[in-house]
Amino acid sequence: MNWNRNKTIGAVLLAVFFTACSTVPLTGRKQLSLVDDKQMQQQASLAYRELLNSPKTKVVKGTSNAQLVQNVGNKIARAVESYLKQNGYADQFQFNWEFNLIDEQQVNAWCMPGGKVAVYTGILPVTQTEAGLATVMGHEVAHAIARHSSERASNTLAAQGLGVGVGLATSKKSQITQLAVSQLYGLGSQVALLKYSRNQESEADRMGLTFMAMAGYDPNEATGFWERMASKAGGQKPPEFLSTHPSDERRIADIQKLIPEAMKHYNK
């Protein structure tokens, strides 16, 4: 009876893996898609609005830096939308773009599903130039176009489902065996999800380089930005396999290899 139940669960999991997939624009990678994109965008829009309206958030308006964020963001958005339209993806992405500069000393920027972008003033000394800012914003927009938030949620759901299957499969084993398997599965799934995150970062680097090139920014400028980011971060870092991001050395080396590909799209 348990064998039949396990077979049924396995069949369901396999069916989900093979049917719930989508394709990442530009890279062509297949990804697991168990989460509804529209719901993700709706929730992201609500969260973005809540952040901007929070008394703790100071949105910068009317300054040259605020205008720069708007200009760079709009250039990248137009380039991305043009690419999506030309390559048959336009109907899959109904983004309502917003670009805001937030007075916050974090060295950070992000793009929520649906094109809700925030750049913190703390990263501007590292970007230094318009092309440096385009490197950051192209990278963050790439995360949204690649649906990385939805994919991370889908991978987490899949890992939880697999965990249930592992538990059922070892239900008749000794307690020691069950504990050992569950601990190994827990570590394995966590490392796997970290690897997914590192792969997403690398994919966003690749897509971001191309997006900034399409928007008229020289991809060669990206190397200097990431070198400055590495210098800014400094300090002791975890091993790469236990990190959500590639090592600085790997990232910069990979970006240098990707620049010729991005240059094919460079519109001066």
State the Cα–Cα distance between residues 60 and 80, nearest whole angstrom: 25
- pLDDT, residue 15, reads 44
What are the CA-CA distances from residue 194 to residues 140, 228, 242 (Å)? Answer: 18, 24, 7
- Token readout for 240 is 């790469």
Cβ–Cβ under 8 Å, residues 65 and 133: no
Task: Answer whether residue 24 shows pLDDT above 80.
Answer: yes
Q: In 3-state terms, what secondary structure has residue 125?
A: helix
Q: Do residues 23 and 151 touch, judged by C-beta distance below 8 A?
A: no
Q: For 116, which DSSP code? A: E
Task: Read off the pTM.
Answer: 0.77
In this predicted structure, the answer to whether residue 173 has a pLDDT above a threshold of 50 is no
Q: Which of 140, 151, 203, 221 is catalytic?
A: 140
Instruction: Write the pLDDT tens digit of every residue in 220-240.
Output: 999 999 999 988 876 556 554
Residue 179 pLDDT exceeds 50: no
What is the band of 188 on the pLDDT scale with cuts at 50, 70, 90? very low
Task: Beginning with the edge strand found earlier in the chain, give each strand of the sheet holding 98-102 in spatial order.
Answer: 59-60, 98-102, 116-120, 109-112
Mean pLDDT of 6-23: 52
pLDDT at residue 171 greater than cutoff 90: no
Q: In a 3-state reduction of DSSP, which class is residue 211?
A: helix
Q: Each residue of 50-62: pLDDT tens digit?
A: 999 999 999 999 9
pLDDT in tens, 191-224: 344 444 778 899 999 999 999 999 999 999 999 9
**Least confident interval from 88-102, 111-125, 164-178, 185-199:** 164-178
* Number of Cβ within a 10 Å radius of residue 256: 13
pLDDT at 123 over 60: yes
The span from the CA of 33 to the CA of 67, in Å, is: 36
What are the CB-based long-range contacts (under 8 Å, 24+) for 238-245? 240/198, 241/191, 241/194, 241/195, 242/191, 242/194, 243/194, 243/198, 244/194, 244/197, 244/198, 244/201, 245/197, 245/198, 245/201
Active site annotation includes 201:
no
pLDDT score, position 153? 78
> How many residues make up the chain in this entry?
268
d(CA 218, CA 136): 13
Token pair recorded at residue 235: 């300090």
